[in-house]
Structure 1
Amino acid sequence: MEIVLSKILAQIQHREDKLSSQMMPTAEEAYQMTLFLREMLCTVKSEVLKTGFKDEQQEIEFFRNIKPQILGKLIYYNKVFRIETTCPVSTGKIHQNFYENLLKNLKSEYKESICNEDFYRYYRAGRTDRDQIYFRLGQINYHDGLKSGVFEIDLSFSTYYDNKIAYIIANELLYTYMLTKINPEENPDTILQNVDANKDISWTNSQNALIELIYALYASNSIAYGKIGIRKLALIFQVLFRTPLNDIHHSFHRMKTRAGSRTAFLDQLKISLEEYMDKDI
């Protein structure tokens, strides 16, 4: 069995881009993504149960990196759907309070259930010395005093800690989503609907390419001497190109660990520019 992380991420990104281009309500988009990711997870599970893993490293890679990406996004989109379909109003103080309370609860849950755990520090530090314990089937140690959720997982398809990473991913996505809802002036969808001056300007490459460019400009202090934050800088490009960008921070972290060149778009930009220069020689 060989399930490649880059292919999984590409499939998810393609589906997100396709639904985003249809400009459907957020609740419907979240619902469609929930169905898509649930089907993907079921397909991957069937393949794993049928063929297993060729070696320990493949098993660790799957439960540390691949499954959490699918499950994390699934948890996120299902939560967004629930939020969007229970929000009492679309604007005003009640709307603001609704999302502020959700964000407060999310921060509290994150602090109590995730970031104070040893595993969270292990994962954030990028350590791998305990991967054979955390990300291989049948290695759960109940003497560690694990939470009761461990008894609800499918032990043939979970090491328990893959679920923890999935919740870390989901919570980070939810944090960005709620901040956008609380600060509508920074909501690219709202701005894009009201800006006509640049309607003929569009970004025709991938979202990841644009995010790579934005981070490069930010890291090099090329705009306003680096005094503009990454979220505001991303918003400027979203408005300019009328292109909504989802979870830029998460996309950036994926870039840092992707196979091959981590700066694929910037590498291609250099090649394209040099080829263009050579035309005039």
Structure 2
Amino acid sequence: MKDTLNNIVAEIQEQERKLSANTTSFIDEAFKMTVYLQELLCTLKEKVVGKGFSTKDEEIHFFKQVKPNILGKLIYYNKVYRIETACPVDNGNLNQNYYALQLRGLTQEYKEHVCSSTFYRYYRSGRTDRDESYFMRGNINYHDGLNSYVFEIDPKFSTYFDYKVAKIVANELIYNYLTTKLNPEQNPDILLQNAETKDIFWTQTKNALIELIYALHASDAISHGKIGIRKISLVFQILFRVSLNDIHNSFHRMKTRAGSRTLFLDQLRYSLEEYMDKEDH
């Protein structure tokens, strides 16, 4: 069971890469990932119910890490599919207002039902002292006044709190998705911040990042060149919390600029060689 669990994340990432390269739209990709993840959960449920776990640590790991990440992505892709299929237009003010409305709804849900909860603070702090109560089956305490969803879950394949973690995972993914649809400068409210990544941000110019993205794409350095510039740029925008706006026009301006057309790449090479020389001393 443990080896199977360790391979799940890699399997999901591989499926995402395949669909990203072969689907014609993100709507199609979101739908197919929803179906794939639902089937994956059903397969895992059969194994868990049939074979169980060999140790307490294995059970806790499954319900704290493995299942919530699968279910979280399932909730995310299903939500994105619903958002995109209901989007009124492809672009313009109506489009921006629609995504802004979705983001406000997510923010409100987060403030009312997530960040104020005792469990959220427990999970975010990285504590483990109550893991046996939260992430092992058969420990649901109805005196805590739990959400009515608890009556719908299968106690053989849920601890209730695994769903809570899945919602946290899903909300972060949905938030990142929506913020890439909007200009972050116009939406400064920070819904969710991962303490481990909040200090990661881009400190060079936006043109420098665009130059790097195009270089990685041109050299087939990401997914063997099978995904487009738009998807690569979305990854970097999420990672570095920066809006790149119309990268295609920026790139075409680079092609006609005076002097070197690869200013940032030239600087990277110089900085790396200088760093290597220092390491040699």
TM-score, length basis structure 2? 0.69
Mapped partners of 1:171, 1:79: distance in 2: 10
The equivalent of 2:216 in structure 1 is 241
Q: Does 1:170 align with 2:160?
A: no
Mapped partners of 1:169, 1:239: distance in 2: 30
SS at match of 1:146: coil
Q: Identity of aligned pairs, percent?
A: 49
CA offsets per residue over residues 151-174 of structure 1, 9 Å max, x none?
A: 111111000000000000000000
Counterpart contact for 1:135–1:161, Cα < 8 Å: yes
Counterpart contact for 1:5–1:65, Cα < 8 Å: no
The equivalent of 2:189 in structure 1 is none
The equivalent of 1:57 in structure 2 is 57
CA 1:133–1:28 in structure 2 vs 1: closer, same or farther (change >3 Å)? same
Counterpart contact for 1:60–1:136, Cα < 8 Å: yes
The equivalent of 1:92 in structure 2 is 92
CA offsets per residue over residues 189-226 of structure 1, 9 Å max, x none?
A: xxxxxxxxxxxxxxxxxxxxxxxxxx9xx86x9x7xx4
CA 1:235–1:40 in structure 2 vs 1: closer, same or farther (change >3 Å)? farther
The equivalent of 2:19 in structure 1 is 19
Aligned length: 217
Mapped partners of 2:121, 2:3: distance in 1: 27
Deviates more, 1:147-156 or 1:120-129: 147-156
The equivalent of 2:259 in structure 1 is none
CA 1:109–1:3 in structure 2 vs 1: closer, same or farther (change >3 Å)? farther
Letter in 2 for 1:50: G
TM-score, length basis structure 1? 0.69
- Measure how far apart 1:235 and its partner are: 6.2
Deviating above 2 A after TM superposition, structure 1's stretches of 4 or more consecutive aligned residues are 1-6, 226-229, 232-252
**1:132-143 correspondence to structure 2 within 5 Å:** 132-143=132-143
CA offsets per residue over residues 87-119 of structure 1, 9 Å max, x none?
A: 011111110000000000000101111111011
CA 1:149–1:3 in structure 2 vs 1: closer, same or farther (change >3 Å)? farther
SS at match of 1:136: coil
Letter in 1 for 2:21: S
The equivalent of 1:260 in structure 2 is none
- Measure how far apart 1:183 and its partner are: 3.1
Mapped partners of 2:21, 2:94: distance in 1: 30
CA offsets per residue over residues 53-95 of structure 1, 9 Å max, x none?
A: 1111110010000000110000000111111111011111110
SS at match of 1:83: helix
Counterpart contact for 1:31–1:78, Cα < 8 Å: yes
- Measure how far apart 1:249 and its partner are: 10
Q: Which runs of 5+ in 2 are unaligned?
A: 186-196, 218-228, 241-281
CA 1:147–1:32 in structure 2 vs 1: closer, same or farther (change >3 Å)? same
Q: Does 1:79 align with 2:79?
A: yes
Letter in 2 for 1:181: K
- Measure how far apart 1:181 and its partner are: 1.1
Which has more radius of gyration? 2
Q: Which runs of 5+ in 1 are unaligned?
A: 186-214, 253-281
Mapped partners of 2:208, 2:139: distance in 1: 44
State the superposition RMSD in angstroms. Answer: 3.1
Mapped partners of 1:50, 1:251: distance in 2: 39
The equivalent of 2:159 in structure 1 is 159
